[in-house]
């Protein structure tokens, strides 16, 4: 069985004010087919975790490990991680001038499969994935994310998820900025991918409303660079009612105790 | 009124850093920055067809100071061969080309030399190549030159689009050259003309080209400068919007390799009501001593209320040891305009672009290739001639592949800092790629072109 295993992950970034630790020992294990929701206050390091798994150069790993089926992900380049089966749906997808969606996706698919997809089935595939996410066919000829609305960018991310068929997907606030209809369309896409390939999912979110569509097996509370609490779906409802106060206070107290 | 110069010197620095946004380009050129208003407005620049009327070129002049003047001496001051040369033309009905005398009525219709080299060429030519577009249907003509040699030579071409005609003229340059020339572009009332000047010269070629356009009432000129090959290539296009409702769309794309000097000084003169101009030049620099210069002057004159103008230049720096100068300059003499703006940016790869592509499984070197091609293609795609676009796209891919190969070789030899920059990008404790290993990776990627 496929497993993504994060152990004692410590990550910092270099800022103008010097090195700043952000992840302070993250432990998290995701098995194939499981859906994990990660919730936590702004700035607690959720996106940092997502980007670090994907290998963004800005983040410096100071310790710990990320293993995919026993293989050290931290030793892999960004593209090797994708080839190993990791996918990140970004909180803020990037616009790339002069590069069409069709070209981009075909290049990505070719890189992942090691051979170019057969032209005929490829075009059909692309069309059907686009229409599944209610994206007009004209998007294929537009430049990657250029001039896309916030919601269109998110749909484009999930379209890629379905097309590229990873083993594990990290969804960084894919639900943010979506209207009710788009939320449903995007959630259905995630659920399709989940069923089709028994995808393991790490879903970062601020809102319980997406959990109505995508049912998590586990919920993690992320505070101050680590997992402060984990539980089942009921934990999400509790957070919705009580907020993060309790964890933030506990974390601050622990930090103060450690400092003294 | 503003003058925003920008010079970016990249003799050092990391391989990858974010593209500099407009207004925050590298170090600036003091002589321009300290000058709130141009000393002399662009329209008052001295012009003459007589080279003797110009003072000796010192290399300190505003229009020469960024050029390698010493290597241009034979073209600026020397004796020039002004005889007709061999050309190859392919045209559709409605387009024609012929040699005419220098006393032809259209000679001088679009402008007069504003520098000594241009005047030297003007006064040296025995014949002028006249390209005419007429007729009601859109027509096209490609005029190719590839049989020139190292002898300093003068050229003069007049492109004339008669009233309400439309079409495209492609001036295709390859082979050897040591050429200084004037190209006049006369766009009569209501005509829609595209002119593409393609410089794919041999590595040691030298080419100075002044291209003057005059654009009549409700006429449109789309102009493209594509400079890829040559040792020194300096193409200076100007557009005189002389008739009401005229439209100038001036574009350029250039790719400077090691030791190449590619320069363009663009000038738009809004001189009639409700005229529009867009200037958009994009360049890439790769290899030791790759050098580009872009100067963009826009003048919105008193006679040009309702002007709509925007100019921009963007340069992508692909390796160390390159230098890009980018100097937009806007003069406004009337208060009643629709819009006027400029932008200039010179910088490295945008990390975020590369990361996005790589995170979808695309290897780093291919991601770079895609980003650069996308950046430059934006100009090529607007030419409007599919065959030429495809060919230029392929040329750009080749430039990139050759550059990557050269870089890989240089890195393998010097064990340079590039590998270090690369490892910096990798979080985690993975094995450190050696310079040679990285070079091999680059070379491997370079040879996988054409998978897109
Ligand atoms: N480039 C940077 N420079 C300075 N600080 C940064 C940088 N990138 C991230 N940080 C800081 O790291 C911390 C964690 O940021 P991160 O984006 O991971 O938070 P998050 O949990 O995803 O927040 P949100 O819920 O708002 O998306 C924040 O305090 C943020 O300000
Ligand atoms: Mg975030």
Q: Residues of A numbered 209-238 whose beta carbons fall under 8 angstroms of chain B's beta carbons: which are they?
A: none
Rounded to whole angstroms, the Cα distance separating B354 from B370 reads 9
CA atoms within 13 A on the CB side of A181: 4
Q: CA of A190: how far to CAs of A33, A165, B91, B131, B260, in Å?
A: 12, 11, 55, 60, 51
Pick from B254, B234, B195, B210: which is nearest to B383 by CA?
Answer: B195
Phi-psi region of B321 (alpha: psi -120 to 50; beta: other; left: phi over 0): left
Rounded to whole angstroms, the Cα distance separating B338 from B305 reads 8
Pick from B138, B150, B147, B146: which is nearest to B80 by CA?
Answer: B150
Closest ligand relative to A14 C-alpha:
1
Rounded to whole angstroms, the Cα distance separating B282 from B296 reads 12
Token pair for residue A219? 């919920």
Q: CA of B114: how far to CAs of B236, B237, B245, B270, B369, in Å?
A: 11, 12, 26, 18, 39
Q: What's the confidence (pLDDT) of residue B306?
A: 96
pLDDT per residue of chain A (260 residues) written in tens, 0 to 9:
799 999 999 999 999 999 999 999 999 999 999 999 999 999 999 999 999 999 999 999 999 999 999 999 999 999 999 999 999 999 999 999 889 999 999 999 999 999 999 988 999 999 999 999 999 999 998 999 999 999 999 999 999 999 999 999 999 999 998 999 999 999 999 999 999 999 999 999 998 899 999 999 999 999 999 999 999 999 988 888 888 888 888 777 777 776 65
Residue to mutate among A23, A49, A57, with most B CBs inside 10 A, is: A57
Average pLDDT per run of 10 along chain B, which is 452 residues long?
A: 42 30 33 44 90 96 96 97 96 96 97 97 98 93 94 98 98 98 98 98 97 98 98 98 98 96 98 98 95 97 96 94 95 92 91 96 94 93 94 92 75 50 30 32 27 22
The CB of A13 under 6 Å from ligand 1? The reply is: yes
Token pair for residue A13? 């970034």
Positive or negative, the CA dihedral A215, A221, A224, A225 is: negative
Task: Give the gap in angstroms from C-alpha A254 to the nearest C-alpha of chain B.
Answer: 27
The pTM for the full model equals 0.80
Structural domain boundaries in chain B: 47-348, 350-420, 422-452
Domains of chain A: residue spans and CATH: 3-259 (3.40.50.300)
Q: What is the DSSP string of B426-440?
A: --SSPPPPPHHHHHH
Nearest atom in ligand 1 to the alpha carbon of residue A48 is: 18
Q: If you take atom 8 of ligand 1, which residue's CA is the nearest one?
A: A13
Looking at the predicted complex, does its ipTM rise above 0.85? yes
DSSP code of residue B53: G
């Amino acid at each position: 069985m496929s497993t993504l295993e994060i152990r004692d992950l410590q990550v910092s970034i270099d800022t103008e004010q010097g090195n700043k630790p952000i992840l302070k020992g993250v432990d998290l294990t995701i098995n194939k087919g499981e859906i994990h929701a990660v919730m936590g206050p702004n700035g607690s390091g959720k996106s940092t975790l997502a980007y670090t798994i994907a290998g963004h150069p800005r983040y410096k790993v100071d310790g710990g490990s990320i293993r995919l089926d026993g293989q050290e992900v931290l030793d892999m380049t960004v593209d090797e991680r994708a080839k190993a089966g990791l996918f990140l749906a970004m909180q803020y997808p990037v616009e790339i001038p002069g590069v069409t969606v069709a070209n981009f996706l075909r290049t990505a698919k070719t890189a992942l499969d090691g051979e170019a997809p057969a032209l005929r089935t490829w075009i059909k595939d692309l069309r059907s994935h686009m229409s599944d996410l209610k994206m007009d066919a004209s998007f294929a000829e537009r430049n990657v994310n250029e001039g896309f609305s916030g919601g269109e960018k998110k749909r484009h991310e999930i379209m890629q998820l379905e097309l590229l068929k990873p083993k594990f997907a990290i969804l960084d606030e894919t639900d943010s900025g979506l209207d009710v209809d788009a939320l449903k369309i995007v959630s259905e896409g995630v659920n399709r991918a989940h069923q089709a390939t028994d995808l393991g999912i790490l879903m970062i979110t601020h809102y319980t409303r997406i959990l109505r569509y995508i049912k998590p097996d586990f919920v993690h509370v992320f505070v101050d660079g680590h997992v402060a609490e984990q539980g089942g779906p009921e934990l999400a409802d509790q957070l919705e009612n009580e907020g993060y106060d309790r964890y933030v206070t506990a974390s601050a107290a622990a930090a103060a105790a450690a400092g003294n | 009124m503003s003058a925003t110069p920008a010079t970016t010197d990249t003799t050092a620095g990391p391989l990858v850093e974010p593209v500099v946004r407009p207004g925050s380009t590298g170090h600036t050129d003091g002589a321009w920055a300290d000058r709130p208003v141009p000393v002399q407005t662009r329209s008052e620049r001295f012009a003459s067809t007589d080279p003797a009327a110009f003072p000796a070129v010192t290399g300190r002049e505003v229009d020469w100071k960024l050029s390698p003047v010493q290597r241009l001496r034979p073209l600026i001051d020397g004796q020039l061969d002004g005889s007709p040369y061999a050309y190859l033309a392919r045209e559709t009905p409605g387009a024609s080309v012929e040699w005419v005398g220098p006393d032809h009525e259209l000679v001088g219709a679009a402008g007069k030399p504003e520098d000594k080299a241009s005047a030297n060429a003007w006064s040296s030519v025995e014949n002028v190549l006249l390209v005419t577009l007429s007729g009601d249907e859109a027509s096209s003509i490609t005029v190719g030159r590839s049989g020139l040699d190292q002898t300093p030579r003068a050229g003069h071409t007049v492109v004339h689009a008669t009233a309400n005609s439309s079409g495209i003229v492609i001036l295709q340059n390859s082979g050897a050259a040591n050429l200084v020339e004037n190209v006049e572009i006369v766009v009569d009332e209501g005509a829609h003309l595209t002119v593409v000047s393609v410089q794919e010269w041999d590595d040691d070629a030298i080419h100075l080209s002044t291209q003057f356009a005059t654009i009549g009432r409700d006429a449109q000129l789309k102009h493209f400068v594509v400079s890829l090959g040559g040792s020194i290539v300096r193409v200076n296009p100007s557009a005189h919007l002389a008739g009401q409702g005229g439209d100038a769309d001036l574009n350029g794309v250039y790719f400077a390799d090691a030791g190449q000097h590619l320069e363009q000084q663009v000038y738009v003169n809004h001189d009639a009501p409700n005229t529009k101009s867009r200037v958009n030049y994009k360049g890439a620099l790769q290899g030791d001593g790759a050098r580009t210069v872009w100067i963009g002057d826009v003048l919105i004159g008193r006679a040009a209320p309702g002007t709509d103008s925007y100019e921009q230049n963007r340069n992508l720096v692909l390796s160390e040891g390159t230098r890009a100068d980018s100097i937009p300059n806007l003069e406004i003499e009337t208060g009643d305009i629709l819009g006027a703006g400029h932008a200039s940016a010179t910088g490295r790869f945008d990390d975020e672009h590369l990361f996005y592509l790589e995170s979808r499984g695309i290897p780093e070197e291919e991601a770079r290739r895609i980003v650069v091609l996308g950046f430059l293609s934006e100009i090529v795609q607007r030419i409007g001639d599919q065959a030429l676009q495809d060919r230029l796209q392929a040329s750009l891919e080749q430039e990139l592949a050759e550059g990557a190969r050269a870089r890989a070789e240089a890195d393998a030899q010097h064990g340079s800092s590039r590998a270090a920059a690369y490892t910096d990008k990798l979080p985690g404790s993975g094995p450190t790629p050696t310079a040679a290993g990285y070079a091999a990776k680059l070379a491997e990627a370079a040879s996988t072109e054409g998978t897109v």
